[in-house]
Amino acid sequence: MTPRLRVAPSPTGLLHVGTARAALFNWLFARRHGGVFIVRVDDTDQRRSTPEFERRILEGLRWMGIDWDEGVEVGGPHGNYRQSGRFERYREVAGLLVEKRAAYRCYCSPPELAERRKQAQRAGRPPGYDGRCRSMPADEDQRRQEAGESHVVRFALPRPGMTVFTDVVRGEVRFDHQVIDDFVILRSDGSPTYHLASTVDDVDYRITHVARGEDILPSTPRHIQITRAMAAPEPTYAHLPLLHGQDGGKLSKRHGATDVGEYRRQGFLPEALFNYLSLLGWSIGPERTIFSREEAVEDFDLTDVSSSPAVFDPAKLTWMNGEYLRNHLSQAGFAERARPYTEEFLGQSLPDEMWDGCSEVLPLVQERVKLLSEVGPQLAFLLSERIEYDPRSWKKVMSKPGVDAVLTGAIAALSRVEDWRTESVEQTLRDLIAELGISAGKGFQPVRVAVTGSSISPPLFESLAALGRKKALQRLTDARSRISS
């Protein structure tokens, strides 16, 4: 049987890295086993769902290199793959379940429920629904329904009972029905709850493997019971370990960026995020950290997924991104990816000839950045007419004695250079410090700050060469006059 997997984000927020990781594992499994990967949008919560969130979630998935064979936007045999378009179907199933007495109408009002919950808690009983309407005589139910009384539909969990299933990552798991109440499947406004909609979709779409976060492990017996009541085959479940923040809690905004788009904006490569996320709860094998999508597909299996939670570590992601930037991207590839970030930083689009003017220093920048967003700041001295002096650099380097002489010497020497190239500039400046009898550090740092505005920059001679003689001399002159004033 062809495996069919899905990820079902709710468009009530941006693409969370936890959702992205779940999507990734489902995708990897589907690709590994020649299965079908589906993206479905769980938008039953119409209050909080928006098309904009949906758009950005799908964009994020695509950006990460996760594609889908069936689902929202790409289509397939099951409509538009949005739950909002299937309410009739959910109501139909709920009706069927009521007919089979696997579900029942409940007329208890929210205030009543709240009151009874409070009482139960005080008395030390479980706070869930007490099942009052489950035993309502048929004629009363009919009368109240016909009278148009507000009601929900609850699932009638088999009692006494127990749901036992084998989770791929956790082994056998069992839940006694005593601790699960008769949960709502259809709200009073006729909309389905997550439990119903998700289960019906998994059944209708013939999902074979449900891999999702461990946070819904306690809901799984409900889904299994609905599935059984529908007389449908049960999918295999795999509950993925949760992603935690540094403080050990479920990963959330307070731990920093949680949405994939934010990582994109910060200049992470999708390949790096993909690689990093796949390593959270899974391993491709001993001694391997960096690997391609294809290699992951070749090796992945849900049975190898670990069952303990993983802390999301931005520092390691950042390291890995640097690794990808310098070792897994050609110079041209790097230039192409860096350009939009650089333009964003400068607040303007760059003419080709200007961007091409960076071609010599760009490879040097490539080996020293960890994020694409760092490229702009490193290149600003080349791309902006005016430079801004970093105050700390200025103070550290330019306020030292002898700087004036160095700059004066550099101006004089460099203005005599006819053939303005990296090598000639280097030779000239090396001759200069020899002549002045000063160290490289003492001689080169003032020139660096004068020309780039910062004590941290790409290599000096290449930078000077790329800047051009005229601009270089101009900046040295400007800096010198700034010192004396």
Partner RNA sequence: GGCCCCGUCGUCCAGCGGCCUAGGACGCCGGCCUUUCAAGCCGGUAACGCGGGUUCGAAUCCCGUCGGGGCUACCA
Instruction: Map the footprint of RNA across residues 162-221, applying CB under 7 A.
Output: 170-171, 173-176, 179, 183-184, 187-189, 193-195, 198, 214-219
Residues 6 or more apart whose CB falls under 8 angstroms from that of 144 comprise: 105, 107, 151
Cβ closer to RNA: 336 or 423? 423
Count of residues interacting with RNA (CB under 7 A): 85
Is position 279 an interface residue for RNA (rule: CB under 7 A)? Answer: yes
Cβ closer to RNA: 7 or 351? 7
Residues 6 or more apart whose CB falls under 8 angstroms from that of 164 comprise: 172, 173, 174, 175
x/- track of binding to RNA for residues 342-381 (CB under 7 A): -------------------------xxxx-----------
Strand pairing report for 152-155 and 103-106: antiparallel
Is position 300 an interface residue for RNA (rule: CB under 7 A)? Answer: no
Of the candidates 1, 138, 147, 315, which one interacts with RNA according to CB under 7 A?
A: 315
235-264 residues in contact with RNA (CB under 7 A) are 241-242, 244, 248-250
Please state, in angstroms and as integers, the Cα–Cα distance from residue 8 to each residue in 72, 307, 314, 464, following that order.
10, 21, 25, 53
Residue 38 carries which DSSP code?
Answer: E
Cβ closer to RNA: 183 or 341? 183
Contact 256, 315 (CB under 8 A): no
Q: How far is the CB of 219 from RNA (least distance, A)?
A: 5
Contact 128, 154 (CB under 8 A): no
Of the candidates 14, 66, 152, 403, which one interacts with RNA according to CB under 7 A?
A: 152
Cβ closer to RNA: 11 or 35? 11
95-134 residues in contact with RNA (CB under 7 A) are 109-110, 113, 117, 124, 126-129
CA atoms within a 13 Å half-sphere pointing along the CA-CB vector of 425: 20
Cβ closer to RNA: 323 or 344? 323
Of the candidates 26, 44, 163, 199, which one interacts with RNA according to CB under 7 A?
A: 44
Is position 306 an interface residue for RNA (rule: CB under 7 A)? Answer: yes
x/- track of binding to RNA for residues 14-43 (CB under 7 A): ----------------------------x-
Catalytic, 253? Answer yes
Is position 292 an interface residue for RNA (rule: CB under 7 A)? Answer: no
Residues 6 or more apart whose CB falls under 8 angstroms from that of 459 comprise: 361, 364
Q: Is the dihedral of CA 327, 329, 330, 332 positive or negative?
A: negative
Distance CA 17, CA 14 (A): 9
Is-cis flag, bond preceding 137, omega within 30?
no
Cβ closer to RNA: 27 or 276? 276
CA atoms within a 13 Å half-sphere pointing along the CA-CB vector of 66: 33
Please state, in angstroms and as integers, the Cα–Cα distance from residue 10 to each residue in 52, 127, 203, following that order.
12, 27, 19
Element (DSSP H or E) covering residue 469:
helix 469-484
Is position 436 an interface residue for RNA (rule: CB under 7 A)? Answer: no
Distance CA 238, CA 244 (A): 18
Q: Which of 100, 118, 253, 396 is catalytic?
A: 253
Q: How far is the CB of 351 from RNA (least distance, A)?
A: 27
x/- track of binding to RNA for residues 439-478 (CB under 7 A): -xx--xx--x------xxxxxxx-----------------
Cβ closer to RNA: 332 or 440? 440
Active centre residues (catalytic): 253
